[in-house]
Amino acid sequence: MNDILQELAGILEERKSSANADTSYVASLHQKGLNKILEKVGEEATEAIIAAKELQAGGSREAVVGEVADLWFHSMIMLSHLDISLDEIGACLAGRFGISGLEEKASRGQ
């Protein structure tokens, strides 16, 4: 999984810096700016939530997988736009290992 995300991050960086916005969806989002990217992240988050709720009501597992993939994709575009690497996210997550989620959340307020 990590290899796929790293490969995708590389493609997104390449499209961010050198692709034509007329022919690249990723380049067009970067050209439109952070607010448009955030709008897409919010839209995909909502769609993932709806798909998850529908799964519990007999909906499709594939719909949840597809919507989460869309959410991750657009989140990665957001990170690319902000020059935040997957390694930074990984380091943050790794730093939380061995810490209770409740403790970690409480420490953020300090």
In the chain, where the domains are located: 33-108
Give per-residue pLDDT as tens, 28-44.
Answer: 999 999 999 999 999 99
Give per-residue pLDDT as tens, 57-86.
Answer: 999 999 999 999 999 999 999 999 999 999
Is the CB of residue 48 less than 8 Å from the CB of residue 74? no
* Angle ∠(52,26,71) on CA atoms, nearest 5: 10
Q: Could you tell me the pTM of the whole model?
A: 0.88
What is 37-50 written as a DSSP string?
HHHHHHHHHHHHHH
Identify the CATH assignment for 33-108 out of 1.25.10.10, 1.20.1250.20, 3.40.50.300, 1.10.287.1080: 1.10.287.1080
